[in-house]
Structures are given as structure tokens and as C-alpha cells.
Amino acid sequence: MQVALARRVAGGRCRFVARSGRVTRPRSCRRRTYLRARGTARWTLRIRHRLPRGRYVVAARSYDAHHQRSRVRTRSARVR
């Protein structure tokens, strides 16, 4: 399972949470940075630093045993 955490900023751009736990520079919301998550019903992420305060959008994608990525692109794959 992979999860992208994004924080929207001015100008319709996003700042993504990187592996280090810090946020990236503002960029297009379509260029996501995915983090590896563990778990099935509940996800656990290893982030080294505290996240800045604010609202985040979570986008999820999964892979099966043959490393085929999920193709469903619906609003249900994103959580606010």
C-alpha cells in the first residue's frame, strides 16, 4: 500500500510529505510523492518529524501480488 499526504497551498499547488517527514516545495498536485504504508484496515506511516499544522489530503494506491497497481481513480481513494 502506498499513501500520498498533500497539503494544499495558495495558487492551487500542493506540498507533499516526503520520507524524511518534511514537506516538499510547492508543486503541481498531480506530481505526488508516495510513502509506503503498512497495514490493511488501518495504515501506519513512519515519519521522522512532526507534520506542520493544517489540513491534508490523503491519496492511496495499492499493488497486488503481481505488482500491478490499482487502477481505480475515484474520490473514494482520497480522504480529506
What local confidence, expressed as pLDDT, does residue 80 receive?
54
The domain ranges of the chain are 2-79
d(CA 66, CA 26): 34
pTM for this prediction: 0.69
What local confidence, expressed as pLDDT, does residue 73 receive?
59
d(CA 70, CA 76): 13
Give the residue carrying C-alpha cell 497497481: 69
Per residue in 23-78, pLDDT tens?
Answer: 889 999 888 888 888 877 777 777 777 887 888 888 888 777 777 776 655 555 55
Q: What is the largest CA-CA distance in the chain?
A: 39
> 51 φ, ψ to 5°?
-80, 145
